[in-house]
Amino acid sequence: MSELILFITLVLLVTGVALALLEVIDADDPFFHTDYRPPRSHPDDPFSHSGSWYH
Residue 25 is assigned to a structural domain of this protein: yes
DSSP state of 21: H
Q: What pLDDT is stored for residue 17 in this prediction? A: 93
Q: What pLDDT is stored for residue 1 in this prediction? A: 83
Report which secondary-structure segment, H or E, holds 22.
helix 2-28
Q: Total structural domains in the chain?
A: 1
19 has a pLDDT exceeding 60: yes
Residue 18 is assigned to a structural domain of this protein: yes
Q: What pLDDT is stored for residue 10 in this prediction? A: 97
Q: What pLDDT is stored for residue 20 in this prediction? A: 86
List, for residues 31-51, the tens digit of each pLDDT value: 655 565 666 665 556 566 565
C-alpha dist (Å) from residue 10 to 3, 13, 17, 52: 10, 5, 11, 60
Q: What pLDDT is stored for residue 13 in this prediction? A: 97
Of 15, 12, 20, 16, the residue nearest 4 (C-alpha): 12
CA 27 – CA 47 distance, rounded (Å): 29
Q: Which domain range does residue 15 map to?
A: 2-32
CA 47 – CA 44 distance, rounded (Å): 9
